[in-house]
Amino acid sequence: MSKYDVVLDNPNMVENKSDLSEAAQIKYLTEENATFVETEGKMLSVHVDGEVYPSVYLHCSFPHTNKRIFISVRTDENKEIGIIKSLDHFPSNIISLLEEHINLRYFAPEIIKVNKINEEFGYSYWDTETSAGSCYFTVRMGRGNVVAVTENKVLITDVDGNRFIINDLNALSEKEYRMVEMCMT
């Protein structure tokens, strides 16, 4: 008896294969099958093939390199409704709406200058100048809270879950670079 005979003799194996292939199918959202609207409460809603999802969230597959492609549209329960291959496949008013919601989700001021970083008792205390103004925040050391997301780009997550970006480590002064490097995991 070969391994193929075992599969043919076991209906559960065939059923599981069917379940897996069904789960692996991706539904792509397009202008033709999805209508995005903003609710009175400024939430994003989508109508897909006659079904209404009153509150959805956008999750970028590549949030640090390209927020315009392969965007997962999910419910409050994190169930994926479908994928937007590219924002460019939608009219300009819908692109603006989707970009606004993406920017809200991935809001991360850029750190332009690191004035000082003090470390004490497993925490680092940052004094920075950002694209949103002067900012003081606390970061728990370790746990991947200061990580390189590309060769020169660093993502910092503070104790409150706020995110900050250093777009180009090479643009920092040598002193700033050393302070940030000491905090990276």
Half-sphere exposure of 168 (CA within 13 A, CB side): 4
Q: Looking up tokens 């409050």, which residue turns up?
A: 76
51 is written with which tokens? Answer: 């079904």
Average pLDDT estimate for 151-164: 91
Overall domain count for the chain: 2
Are 159 and 140 in contact by the 8 Å Cβ rule? The answer is yes
| pTM, rounded to two decimals | 0.66
- 79 and 132 share a domain? no
Residue 172 has a pLDDT of 94
Average pLDDT estimate for 46-53: 92
49 is written with which tokens? Answer: 């093939």
Residue 20 has a pLDDT of 55
Average pLDDT estimate for 105-121: 92
Lowest mean pLDDT among 8-17, 69-78, 101-110, 152-161: 8-17
> Residue 135 pLDDT more than 60?
yes
Average pLDDT estimate for 49-67: 88
Amino acid found at 62: F
Average pLDDT estimate for 34-46: 91
Are 105 and 163 in contact by the 8 Å Cβ rule? The answer is no
- 82 and 171 share a domain? no
Report the alpha-carbon distance of residue 105 to residue 79 in Å, rounded: 17
67 is written with which tokens? Answer: 């927020």
Name the residue with higher pLDDT: 185 or 109. Answer: 109
34 is written with which tokens? Answer: 């999805």
Report the alpha-carbon distance of residue 145 to residue 155 in Å, rounded: 8
Report the alpha-carbon distance of residue 97 to residue 64 in Å, rounded: 20
- 78 and 125 share a domain? no
Q: How far apart are the first and last CA of the chain?
A: 52
Residue 3 has a pLDDT of 44
Range of the domain at 98: 3-105
Q: How confident is the model at residue 16 (pLDDT cuts 50, 70, 90)?
A: low
Which residue, of 105, 121, 151, is where some domain finishes?
105
- 136 and 100 share a domain? no
Q: How confident is the model at residue 74 (pLDDT cuts 50, 70, 90)?
A: very high
> Residue 170 pLDDT more than 50?
yes
Mean pLDDT, all residues of the chain: 86
For the chain, what percent of residues have pLDDT higher than 70?
A: 86
Alpha-helical (H) ranges within 25-171 are 92-105
Which residue, of 105, 132, 149, is where some domain finishes?
105
Residue 2 has a pLDDT of 47
The residues, ordered by sequence, that sit 6+ positions from 90 with a Cβ below 8 Å of its Cβ are: 31, 36, 84, 98
- Nearest 10 degrees: CA dihedral of 46, 50, 54, 57? -40
User: How many angstroms separate the most distant Cα atoms in the chain?
Assistant: 72
